[in-house]
Amino acid sequence: METELPQTRAPRLWAPTLIVFISSACIMVLELVAGRMVAPYVGVSLYTWTSIIGVILAGISLGNYLGGKLADRWASTRLLSLLFLLAGLTSIGVLFVDALGAAIPNEWPMVLRIIGLVAAVFFIPAVILGTISPVVTKLALRDLANTGSTVGRISAAGTVGSIVGTFATGFLLISWFGTHAIVWGVAVILLLMALGFFLAGTATRGRAVAAVLGLALIGGATAVAVWQGWTESRCSLETNYFCINVREDERDGSPVRILILDRLVHSYNDLNDPTKLVYGYEKVYAEATRYQSEQNPEMSALFIGGGGYTFPRYMEATYPGSALDVIEIDPGVTETAYQLLGLNRDTDIRSFNEDARMFLEREPDRAYRLIMGDAFNDYSVPYHLTTREFNERVKDWLADDGLYMVNLIDGPRRDFLRAYVHTLRGTFEHVYVVPAIRTWRESPRVTFVILATQQPLDLAQFAAIDGGDGETTIAQSLLSPDALDAIMAEGRLVMLTDRYAPVDQMLAPVARGEQVRPDAPEPARDNSKAE
């Protein structure tokens, strides 16, 4: 004998699986765009995605709990209409992420800034969207005999919706429309669902008028949003990898264009003078490149990470005839370099828009005299480009007298620097470290240039080599063997491998703004920017 459940105020519910599918897809769309929308203010790191996933899951969990309570007391199409209305309105609130991101004090620790921004913008929409599934389930249940299949069917629909929302956003929507337009689209879908459920509970004679008024309000709001620019991206170009912005500035009395990827200033480009270098690590690269040219004037270089193509343009102008190849994973970055950053369309620089690891997994078709790594983006480090296995691939593409150069950021603990040098020593006979600023011991955030080679460098030769700024940075700043050994002895040595590369955890103290190692004396504060 079948046991019927008590009837709710909505004895009929059309397509419950479709409703849950849509609400679940909307949650995942918001979760995916969250990473891109907060990136210009807090960057992209393990902390960023941990915060986003944690906040969204917390919101969904609380929403499921509250939705169950609401369903037991007031389950109806009118309740669904109200929930979808609130979900749509709070989704529109996500567009205020720019104002909130700019208002968060820089003095706050990085982790607090990330969690605070994500929670302030995305928690409430996640809570409200989380309430929908329990209400739909309550309305869909007709008798106890079919409870399992009904709940299972609705749960499966929600999971499928989450999958579709994830793949659609990551592979298609962001590159097609940009995050702000996507958020507005999600809000419109939710508001249309609210209108549909409202009409379902409205008397037949009033439905037409209510439908016209509701559609007019949604359409009018969309028109205002487009007119006010609320749906426009805050990026010059939004790709599957970065929010790309280019702005004008001035350095040393001449205009330059700045490439900003997410929140990181990635390069300064002088359109009239490709030999102009701004960052300290670029000047170290220039000195090492000069050293290589003095050993052998036939130059070839592979760049892991293109960015603003600053150094490829420098080498093209300084060493005409060089064979220059760039691996830049984001074709949008390469196109920006062509359009806005002075890279000529008829350049001999070859670009390969793919992951550097995949590129170097091929059998080498040439031996480069220089391989330069510039793919470590702030605290977001592609760990698979740090491992012993990757270094072995680099060595296979490097000439016998070739030089592998990488710049990385670390702080007073120097956990990442220590692990990276230790890992390089497992592949290369000689590893050298050059801090890009002289106050590196006191600075909370420093760029180091690492030089690795199979042949020892003639260090005396660097005394007469400068990177175009009149200073011999390598000769003056290269760490002595004793100084480097002292750093290596400060903590445990980690060999980074494809199976174990806790790079994000090593950089966590830098992201949190920790100034010193726990066992170190308090250094003098240095507010200069790491270069």
pLDDT in tens, the chain (531 residues): 445 545 444 444 468 999 999 999 999 999 999 988 888 888 777 788 899 999 999 999 999 999 999 999 998 889 999 999 999 999 999 998 888 888 888 778 778 888 999 999 999 999 999 999 999 999 888 666 678 888 899 999 999 999 999 999 988 898 888 899 999 999 999 999 999 998 887 766 677 888 889 899 999 989 988 898 888 888 888 888 888 999 999 888 889 999 998 888 889 999 999 999 998 899 999 999 999 999 999 999 999 999 999 999 999 999 999 999 999 999 999 999 999 999 999 999 999 999 999 999 999 999 999 999 988 766 678 899 999 999 999 999 999 999 999 999 998 889 999 999 999 999 999 999 999 888 888 888 889 999 999 999 999 999 999 877 788 999 999 999 999 999 999 999 999 999 999 998 888 777 666 665 544 433 333 333 333
Among 400, 477, 476, 479, residue whose Cα is nearest residue 432: 479
Q: What is the reported pLDDT for 514?
A: 66
State the CB neighbour count (10 A cutoff) for residue 458.
Answer: 10
Provide the residue type at 22 as one letter: I
The rounded distance, in Å, linking the Cα atoms of 213 and 449 is: 63
pLDDT recorded at residue 471: 86
**CB-count exposure of residue 473 (10 Å: 0-12, 13-18, 19+):** buried
Whole-number Å distance between alpha carbons of 310 and 305: 11
State the pTM of this model: 0.84
Could you list the beta-strand ranges (E) of 341-397: 350-352, 368-373
pLDDT at 378: 63
The architecture CATH gives domain 16-234: Up-down Bundle (1.20)
The type of residue at 428 is F
Sheet holding 264-269, edge to edge: 237-238, 243-251, 254-261, 264-269
Instruction: Give the DSSP H or E segment for 417.
Output: helix 415-425
Phi, psi angle pair for 324, to nearest 5°: -120, 120
3-state secondary structure of 9: coil
- Of 341, 211, 324, the closest CA to residue 268 belongs to 341
Please give the single-letter amino acid code of residue 151: V
Domain limits, CATH 3.40.50.150, in the chain: 274-511
Architecture of the 274-511 domain? 3-Layer(aba) Sandwich (3.40)
Cβ atoms of 121 and 30 closer than 8 Å: no
Domain boundaries for CATH 1.20.1250 within the chain: 16-234
Cβ–Cβ < 8 Å for 244, 333:
yes
